[in-house]
Amino acid sequence: MRINSIIILLAVAFLQFSCAGYYDTVMKSNDVDLKYKAAHEYFQKGKYKKAADIFDNLNLLVQGLPQEDTVTYYHGLSNYRYGDYETAETSLAKFIEVYPRSPFIEEAKYLRIDCLYRGTYRYELDQTPTRKAMMVISEFMYDNPGSKYYPVCQEMMKDLMERLERKSFESAKIYYTMEDYKASRYALKNVLKENSENQYREDVLYYVAMSSYKYAFNSIEEKKKERYLDFVDDYYNFISEYPESKYRKELDGLFAKIEHYTIKTEQEKTEETE
């Protein structure tokens, strides 16, 4: 029994050594046909890292040969399958630029998009990769309206746009959290100047109104009435767009307080002049 186990272990070790030896031989060889065949064999077996390495090694050897575009494409595809999306994106971008008429072009463009999409970050972090991905996706959708990847690209764009819009809203809202209500109102209004269709529009307008109210409320008495007028404007802007909003009751209550405050101050002025 122990002898059989030893034989099996030796056989496995021999096979592993043989495979490693074959891979090393292929990598050291300048035989284009051998490398090309081996790279595809590794790819078909799901050994994408080895396939990627051999395709990369082949790049210089196949320049000017019929296999040139296939090698570049499969180098990108192998890295994509392996999970090295950064290397895959670089290789696929090169392929798209050099071989725009290749039969692999639509697939390559989509795979590059997927690499860029996977390289984006949560809304709290730097959104430079998000903007780059959106630009490439937009170009693809414009050029390929009938593509089978079009619906997937739409979903990607929707997700990435949500991140940008939330980033914009949350960045402006920081001033509100810091209780700098004057800066908060200004920053939040700028969010809608930059993108009036921001999907957080209701929340933005709510915090605009709350900023103007709190800024006025915390002002010296001589400035309060004038500054409450900003809240009144913001209040009417809000309820005209969102009459059924979850924020309506709270803002109605603040508006009623201001009306009461205005009536009271007017009465006090009248009494002073009498």
More confident residue, 222 or 82: 82
Q: What is the mean pLDDT of the segment spanning 170-191? A: 98
**Residue 106 token pair:** 């639509």
Q: What is the pLDDT of residue 179?
A: 97
Percent of the chain residues topping a pLDDT of 70: 89
SS (H, E, C) 140-180: HHHHCCCCCCHHHHHHHHHHHHHHHHHHHHHHHHHHHHCCC
What is the rounded CA–CA span in Å between residue 114 and residue 4?
A: 49
Instruction: Provide the residue type at 115 as one letter.
Output: C
53 lies in some domain: yes
| Least confident residue range of 14-18, 186-190, 263-267 | 14-18
76 lies in some domain: yes
Q: What is the mean pLDDT of the segment spanning 195-221? A: 96
184 lies in some domain: no
Q: Is the pLDDT of residue 15 over 70?
A: no
The whole-model pTM stands at 0.83
pLDDT in tens, 20-36: 689 999 999 989 999 99
pLDDT in tens, 225-244: 899 999 999 999 999 999 99
CATH number of the domain at 99, please: 1.25.40.10
Q: Is the pLDDT of residue 13 over 50?
A: no
Quote the domain boundaries for residue 95: 34-119
84 lies in some domain: yes
172 lies in some domain: no
Q: Is the pLDDT of residue 91 over 80?
A: yes
110 lies in some domain: yes
What is the rounded CA–CA span in Å between residue 5 and residue 39?
A: 33
> How many separate domains does the chain show?
1
pLDDT band at 177 (very low <50, low <70, confident <90, very high): very high
Please count the residues of the chain.
274
DSSP secondary structure of 184-243: HHHHHHHHHHH-TT-TTHHHHHHHHHHHHHHHHHTS-HHHHHHHHHHHHHHHHHHHHH-T
56 lies in some domain: yes
Q: Is the pLDDT of residue 83 over 50?
A: yes
More confident residue, 154 or 60: 154
Query: Of 105, 132, 110, nearest to 119 (Cα)?
Result: 132
Q: What is the pLDDT of residue 146?
A: 96
